[in-house]
Amino acid sequence: MPELPEVEVVRRGLEAHVLGHPIRRVEVLHPRPVRRHAGGPADFAARLTGRTFTAAHRRGKYLWLVLDHGDALLGHLGMSGQLLVQPPGVPDERHLRVRFGLADDLELRFVDQRMFGGLAISDGGATLPPEIAHIARDPLDGAFDDAAFVRRVRRSDSAIKRLLLNQSIVSGVGNIYANEGLWLARVHGERPGSRLRASDVDAVLAGCRHVMMQALDQGGTSFDALYVNINGQSGYFDRSLEAYGREALPCSRCGTPISRVTFMNRSSFFCPVCQPVPRRRRQPGNQAGNQAGKTRQAIGRQLGGATSFT
């Protein structure tokens, strides 16, 4: 699945190539990608024809293109979605789903093999579509509140990796970048937030931000030929990963083989030396039971060795 840097690369491409070009025609070639538009494919096409994209924004992994008169075209790439700008004469892609014919004979194409992604018109959504108002800001957002994130994490008993993947707390950190950020911070993904120091949480956030900025500079992380940016080019940051996908390979810091475990139906990769597995806390009930056992043994010794009571 495209992660935040890939989506930001696409947003920048849209900003550079489609703004200010009136939409001359819209063809919905398959209804599923516009399933979230209540009016259906015909209404979707009619409402966009003649409009102009004026800005391109992103919140987490969601994109929206602002339309004149204050509405927006909201999009999510899902597992395999692509937004491609093509010049005249380029043959249709095999999984082309929606075509926007722009001025100057350019085409903006939404291509999606698996069709988990989609497009919809967001009424009045120019500033922030209400459909995604619940999505938190991401670490690359200039308005992201680091201190509030640290407080939120340290109040929670959930595992830090689970919190990183919670889009209502921080958006855009997918499985790949969570693994990499935790490796950089030397923090195991199953450590509860409440058992982390503020400096630990700061380090995790800084690690995620660092690896995402690196990926953005290199065009994103691509393991799947389905992901390409707006110019049809794949990302290459996968060559620089330190933990994700490196099971049994040596950690570049200490040489210990990288381990892989299943966490939240995903694969987690970590160095067992640099990121030690957290020790389990004893349950209160077990502690009480252990204390009761010690008390019985002490009484038994006082009574001459008897340790069985009814």
What is the spatial distance between Cα 70 and Cα 36, in angstroms, rounded to a whole number?
19
For residue 275, report the phi and psi dihedrals to the nearest 5 degrees.
-125, 70
Beta bridge partners, 23, equal: 102
Catalytic residue from among 51, 58, 59, 61: 61
For tokens 């009571």, the residue is 309
What is the spatial distance between Cα 196 and Cα 210, in angstroms, rounded to a whole number?
20
Catalytic residue from among 32, 137, 266, 296: 266
Which is it for strands 62-67 and 107-112: parallel, antiparallel or unpaired? Answer: unpaired
What is the spatial distance between Cα 285 and Cα 38, in angstroms, rounded to a whole number?
53
What is the spatial distance between Cα 72 and Cα 223, in angstroms, rounded to a whole number?
31
Let me know if 2 is a catalytic residue. yes
The full DSSP string for 127-184 is SS-GGGTTSPP-TTSTT--HHHHHHHHHT--SBHHHHHT-TTTS-S--HHHHHHHHHH
Let me know if 129 is a catalytic residue. no
CB contact at 8 A, 172 and 60: yes
What is the spatial distance between Cα 157 and Cα 118, in angstroms, rounded to a whole number?
34
For tokens 């491409």, the residue is 13
Catalytic residue from among 2, 5, 33, 41: 2
Q: Which contiguous run of DSSP H or E holds residue 74? A: strand 72-76
Let me know if 61 is a catalytic residue. yes
What is the spatial distance between Cα 5 and Cα 220, in angstroms, rounded to a whole number?
5
Catalytic residue positions, numbered: 2-3, 61, 266
